[in-house]
Structure 1
Amino acid sequence: MAAGGMSREERWSLAGATALVTGGSKGIGHAIVEELAGHGARVHTCARSAAELEECRRRWEAKGLPVTVSVCDVSLRASREQLVETVK
């Protein structure tokens, strides 16, 4: 037990939180998606490659992680605006 009588899992719970992670299909973004979802956050991630996103989404679903995905090129304003609307 950690200080205050709470376990590490309880202290780091993100239950009820929503996170948006760009570039979640690989590298650091992918690791952040898994960490946040593993602590209970609902996570939405985006990337430019639909195929890579779908492959990741299937793996996250198999792990029981609450992750949704969409294709987005964050360098384009219209894509960013659509992403925000999707996450809302």
Structure 2
Amino acid sequence: MSISSAPPRRFWLVQHEAGIVAEGIVWSSGQLAVHWPGQPLATSQWASLEDLLAVHGSGERATIKWIDTADIWPCERDHTECIEYDNGAIWVH
């Protein structure tokens, strides 16, 4: 097994009527994990971005907003953002 040279990429799942509803990461294999910060908290795994959007973005209800837009992980620079949710805040570093 070899690891792709593509680094993991972070994203937000944005529902057009509700705003940001989840945060996720796509691994080099194309699989992804999505964290739902609402109550109750949940984390789900998906085989592909297409599978996630087929369920949660059908009818163009949701889109992906990439946090990491470069081809490399932004380790060298200070990158901190705060997204407010109904029951608190999630810090994305």
- Superposed pair shares fold, TM > 0.5: no
TM-score tier (shorter): under 0.3
Q: Which has the higher helix share?
A: 1
Q: Which has the higher strand share?
A: 2
